[in-house]
Structure 1
Amino acid sequence: MAPERWLHPVAEPTVVTGTALEVGDDELLLAVARGDQAAFAALYDSVGPLVHGVVRRVVRDPAQSEEVTQEVMVEVWRTAVRFDPDRGSARTWVLTMAHRRAIDRVRSEQSSRNRTQRVADQQHARDFDEVSERVELDFEYEQVRTALSTLTELQRQAVELAYYQGYTYREVADLLGTPLGTIKTRMRDGLIRLRDALGVAG
């Protein structure tokens, strides 16, 4: 069954005598261009199923095919004045319009799916990066913790206070009750041992 017709009211429409069987599509479309609603109804009955068939072959989806068919027939009503019978038949003109509309719908749907997929891919990439970064940080933390365990107690305390808690060498010396020179020496030796334990080139 053909989709419901979309009829636009017009003032004082021209009347085409006869039925769709008696009047050709070209004459009907020319009458539609003059605002004849009866001609549009007859043209719809004549080409509507063909339009739907063309659209369905391209779009595939039944619901969207119905929508595009309606859009095509609305466009026929609105642009009928552009039809030139010297350049081709009304049926060819309408079906070309239908095919173009169907292609546009497929491209639009594909573009929408691509955008959705890009968003999903970006989110997946962010999730993966966050997990990867967390694993890397955990691994590095474990390496540093293991390396710190190779230091003497004074070296470890000095390094932790200076590099992980932000104290200056003098503040570290005061906190540990150790001469500043000793702290500097222990820090230097401790950092060398850390470098070697972590496999960092000197």
Structure 2
Amino acid sequence: MKYENLKKFIISTKSSKSTIYRFYKKNEDLFIETKLSSGKRMFPVDHARYFDSEIMFDENKILRQENKSMRNLIDCLADKESFQHTFWQMDWSFFFTVAYKADRQKMSCFKQMHGLYDYLNEKYQDSTELRMFFTTEPFTNRKGFHNHFVVHIEDKKLHEKIISDIQEHFNYDRVDVSIYDRYKAGLFYMSKAGLNGEDWDFINN
């Protein structure tokens, strides 16, 4: 953890000495993270964000969204017969989002996902267990739809290669990928109010 002396911390936070010490008096748990060095109080650089109202607003907004998603997830998982509960129990490797350059409709997105799976399944066949679950959602700032999907790749030696294959398959579109986290990435579909028609599908070999 990096630290600053009071003079530098005042500049970083754009706050007065009295404001800084009032803050730590109200937040003793954070004051514990400060330290004394040669008789001078040193402040964690990371604490500067607590004095920035815009940053705190954004972080608070994210926390509210995550809390709402977690509540929705718990509600979904309460029904042990639901698809959401079944999918959540499965192992997944990666979470992807594909934002198409073209204004694709639901059925077009559905075909894109099946086309990707067929391509991977034909290429790797029995060399690894492969399964995919996807959902289709509308863009909020433009026409058309995009896809979120999770994949399970049993053979970890093939992880990097298959990620590269997926990115190349959608080389004209924007592809975001991250390691699957059942408490974060998985929330986007488990918190939905139902799964309908061509909005989703589960495919495995």
Tell me which protein shows more helix as a share of its residues: 1
TM-score, normalised with respect to structure 1: 0.20
Tell me which protein shows more strand as a share of its residues: 2
TM-score, normalised with respect to structure 2: 0.20
Higher Cα Rg: structure 1 or 2?
1
Higher-RCO chain (CA-CA 8 Å, sequence separation at least 6): 2
